[in-house]
Amino acid sequence: MLKLRDGIVELYRKVATSLPPDVEDALKAARVSEKKGSNARHALEVILENIRIARETARPICQDTGVPVFYVKTPIGLSRIELEKTIIEATRIATEKVPLRPNAVDVITDKNTGDNTGIGFPIIYFRETPESTLSIDLMLKGSGCENVGQTYKLPKEELKADRDLDGVRKCVLDAIHRAQGRGCSPYTIGVGIGAAKDQVTRLAKEQLMRRLTDTNNIEVLFKLEKRLLKEINTLGIGPIGFGGKTTALGVKIGVNHRHPASYFVDISVCCWANRRGRLIW
């Protein structure tokens, strides 16, 4: 477990200080699509320069190292208790070593624990798989973008949103309009649809782990993702909310079965610094 612990510390460092290539490529493509001399282009130039500096100096891309979220896939028979302990220990070490900003605040005393650990902090989800390898995915989800996420219950009359995928489309557009640039656009947007509130919020956030270049294997959702991306980019919010063509880099939708009486749609927004990575053990 000691070696695994050090592996998780390194995963933290990698995720905090560098962006996945698909995200950086999308930002580069966005830069050339914005008008020369515009605030939008200026913002993307600074963002790309920041990514370079962070990678070269091994410093966090953003000072908000967010809430760490782990998606752990375990082979049959591996102790989750031990794994959880190892992740928490690695979190303490990474906070000091990388360094990460300590973000875990006790709700009762309002004191920061100083090491990014606390009740339900970091967030760890386990899933058992028939594979023989252990796979640990980490997302560092900044709170500026977390705060602009929304949950909708359909139908929603003021959006003319019925209980169907076109209703979902309207919710996503509304959520991004409400967010403006406050969550650090251009965004990656995760959407979760299903029967219960807790389920859709988790599902929406999990979509953010998907590569921007992947394709949804459900044809209807694939088309909706493409359409939404195009439509969001006509809103004119632009990078950092300065106006422009690039408000989002990708939209990813996941579905669960719903209850006849419920139609929940959750929208999880991720800032341009979509920090995610995987450790295979």
Partner 1 sequence: MKEKIINLPLTKKDVMGLHAGDVVLINGTIVTGRDKIHKFLFYERPSKKDIPFNLSGTVLYHCGPIVRKLDSSYKVIASGPTTSIRVETYEHRIISSYGIRGVMGKGGMCERTLEAMKKNGCVYFHTIGGAAAYLADRVKKVVDVWKLEEFGAPEAMWVMEVENFPAIVTMDAHGRSLHSDIAKISGSALKKLIWKTS
As measured in angstroms, the least distance from the Cβ of 52 to partner 1 is 9
Query: Is 205 a binder of partner 1 (CB under 8 A)?
Result: no
Q: Which residues contact 265 (CB under 8 A, 6 or more apart)?
A: 151, 152, 153, 154, 167, 168, 171, 172, 191, 192, 193, 200
- Taking CB under 8 A as the rule, which mask of x and - marks residues 11-40 in contact with partner 1? --------------------------x-x-
Nearer to partner 1, 69 or 273 (CB): 273
> How far is CA 21 from each of CA 142, 167, 179, 271, rounded to the nearest angstrom?
19, 33, 26, 16
Residues 234-273 that bind partner 1 (CB under 8 A): 234-238, 240-243, 271-273
Query: Is 105 a binder of partner 1 (CB under 8 A)?
Result: yes
Query: Is 156 a binder of partner 1 (CB under 8 A)?
Result: no
Query: Is 220 a binder of partner 1 (CB under 8 A)?
Result: no
- Taking CB under 8 A as the rule, which mask of x and - marks residues 47-86 in contact with partner 1? x-xx--xx--x-xxxxxxx---------------------
Nearer to partner 1, 43 or 87 (CB): 43
Query: Is 174 a binder of partner 1 (CB under 8 A)?
Result: yes
Secondary structure in 3-state letters for 3-14 = HHHHHHHHHHHH
Q: According to CB under 8 A, which one of 7, 10, 22, 101 is a site residue for partner 1?
A: 101
For partner 1, the binding residues (CB under 8 A) are 37, 39, 42-43, 46-47, 49-50, 53-54, 57, 59-65, 99-103, 105, 110-112, 114, 142, 144, 147, 159-160, 166, 169-170, 173-174, 177, 180-184, 231, 234-238, 240-243, 271-273
